[in-house]
């Protein structure tokens, strides 16, 4: 047993054998050169000494500015090694993004609802305009005499309930022109609900007999009626003689003539007679000789017109001479208006 004189010291109590080399700070020899404490917080192992600034230039800016996941996140399993505590509050930018997202979604949804409501409102307005405001309710027909208005409306294709703004006048004209009895003049829209169709009925002005069949025609040589009974001579129409007929002797078609001069004389003669209102006073027109056109009046006069030149002046002269002869109570005879300024009467 060792006593105090054998080098025993009270501070050695409780120490193990082999713990020699004790130092006054209480650190054993086997604990020397071993560090268990944290790295000083004012030191950064990633910073280079001022004597080597070129090393900083080759490193990431995130390291130099202490930015990035390493610096922002704390690792509880380590002692830090210079890591900063994790940020407990989100940055201003991140907070604004999270707060703005719901607002943008709400705005988008609100904008979509407004757009959908506008589309529905527009559809309702268009439907009202289509089926209520601008819907055809009345159809009027002018210019008809023998053909009923209801039949002309049926031919035109216009029906009540149609949109008055979308009516195609060209198609209406084509439908009416397809009926040989009618000629289209115009179509008017009286907004919001009334349509006016103006037509002209083809009027028979002459007749002729060809191959034993009687044909009635208008001034454009449109065949309006045919009859196999030549005794059915219309008393109020002009009988045409001497035409060079080639084809189209069918109801609803224009009769084709082989002589072009006759075609011109026919059109001009009946047009001028209609303008002067004397068609009903002429009973016969012979244009077999295009240089000597002959007319016969219903009161017994024979009129010599010569060629097709100045037909209007010749017909006017004939009417004036005929009126004068009636006043003089002279009937029958021949009136020559080849020179309309100097007519000649031969009893």
152 and 258 in a common domain: no
CATH number of the domain enclosing 159: 3.10.20.310
| Model pLDDT, residue 81 | 47
Q: Which of 201, 222, 251 is the last residue of a domain?
A: 201
Task: Find tokens 């609803």 and name the residue.
Answer: 252
Predicted pLDDT at 3: 46
Low-confidence residues in the chain, pLDDT < 50:
1-5, 14, 17-18, 78-83, 92-95, 97
**Total count of domains within the chain:** 2
- At 208 the pLDDT is 95
Beta bridge partner(s), residue 216: 207, 225
CA 2 to each of CA 16, 20, 39, 87, 341: distance values in angstroms, whole numbers, following the listed order: 16, 17, 44, 61, 181
Same domain, 197 and 210: no
Coil vs helix vs strand at 94: helix
Residue found under tokens 């026919």:
266
Residue-range definition of the domain harbouring residue 167: 138-201
Instruction: Using the 3D structure, point to which of 201, 218, 249 is the last residue of a domain.
Output: 201
Closest CA to 213 of 199, 200, 198, 230: 230
74 within some domain: no
b/e per residue, 221-255, with b = 16+ CB within 10 A?
A: bbbbeeeeeeeeeeeebbbbeebebeeebeeeeeb
Task: Provide the token pair at 321.
Answer: 């001479």
Does residue 263 lie in a domain region?
yes
| 340 and 298 within one domain | yes
Contact at 8 Å (CB) between 202 and 182? yes
Please tell me the number of Cα atoms within 13 Å of 249 on its side-chain side.
18
189 pairs with which residues across the strands?
A: 195
What's the pTM value of the predicted model, to 2 decimals? Answer: 0.60
Angle at 337 between CA 331 and CA 343, to 5 degrees: 70
- Ranges assigned E (strand) in 107-193: 138-142, 182-190
Specify the residue for token string 């991140």: 94
Structural domain contains residue 123: no
Distance of CA 129 to the CA centre of its chain: 17
Q: What is the CATH number of the domain that holds 314?
A: 3.40.50
Do residue 191 and residue 246 come from a single domain? no
Q: Are residues 274 and 309 in the same domain?
A: yes
Going through the chain in order, the beta strands assigned E by DSSP cover 138-142, 182-190, 194-201, 206-210, 213-217, 223-227, 238-241, 245-247, 256-257, 282-286, 293-297, 302-306, 334-336, 344-346
The per-residue pLDDT for 286 is 98
Tokens (6 digits) for 165: 């703004």
What's the confidence (pLDDT) of residue 66? Answer: 59
Q: What are phi and psi of 5, to 5 degrees?
A: -75, -15
User: Are 143 and 190 contained in the same domain?
Assistant: yes
Based on the domain organization, do 153 and 183 belong to the same domain?
yes
Q: Is 328 helix (H, G, I), strand (E, B) or coil?
A: coil
Rounded to an integer, what distance in angstroms lies between the CA atom of residue 280 and that of residue 283? 7
Asked whether the beta carbons of 272 and 315 are under 8 A apart, the reply is: yes
Q: How many helices (H) and strands (E) does the chain have?
A: 8, 14
């Amino acid at each position: 047993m060792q006593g105090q004189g054998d080098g025993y010291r009270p501070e050695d109590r409780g120490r193990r054998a082999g713990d020699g080399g004790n130092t006054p700070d209480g650190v054993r020899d086997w604990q020397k050169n071993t560090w268990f404490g944290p790295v000083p917080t004012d030191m950064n192992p990633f910073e280079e000494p001022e004597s080597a600034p070129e090393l900083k230039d080759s490193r990431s800016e995130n390291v130099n500015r202490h930015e990035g996941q390493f610096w922002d996140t704390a690792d509880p399993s380590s002692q830090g090694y210079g890591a900063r505590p994790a940020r407990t509050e989100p940055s201003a930018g991140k907070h604004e993004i999270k707060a703005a997202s719901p607002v943008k979604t709400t705005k988008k949804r609100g904008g979509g609802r407004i757009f959908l409501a506008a589309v529905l409102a527009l559809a309702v307005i268009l439907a009202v305009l289509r089926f209520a405001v601008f819907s055809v309710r009345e159809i009027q027909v002018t210019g008809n005499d023998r053909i009923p208005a209801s039949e002309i409306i049926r031919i035109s294709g216009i029906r009540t309930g149609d949109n008055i703004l979308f009516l195609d006048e060209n198609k209406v004209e084509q439908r009416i022109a397809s009926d040989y009895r009618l000629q289209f003049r115009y179509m008017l829209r009286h907004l919001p609900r009334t349509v006016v169709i103006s037509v002209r009925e083809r009027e028979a002005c002459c007749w002729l007999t060809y191959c034993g069949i009687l044909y009635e025609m208008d001034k454009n040589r449109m065949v309006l009626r045919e009859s196999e009974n030549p005794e059915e001579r219309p008393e109020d129409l002009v009988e045409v003689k001497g035409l060079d007929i080639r084809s189209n002797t069918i109801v609803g078609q224009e009769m084709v003539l082989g002589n072009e001069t006759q075609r011109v004389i026919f059109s001009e003669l009946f047009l001028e007679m209609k303008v002067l209102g004397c068609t009903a006073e002429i009973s016969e027109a012979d244009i077999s000789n295009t240089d000597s056109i002959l007319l016969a009046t219903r009161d017994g006069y024979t009129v010599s017109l010569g060629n097709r030149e100045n037909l209007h002046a010749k017909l006017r002269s004939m009417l004036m001479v005929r009126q004068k002869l009636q006043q003089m109570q002279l009937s029958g005879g021949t009136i020559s208006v080849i020179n309309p300024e100097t007519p000649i009467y031969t009893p």
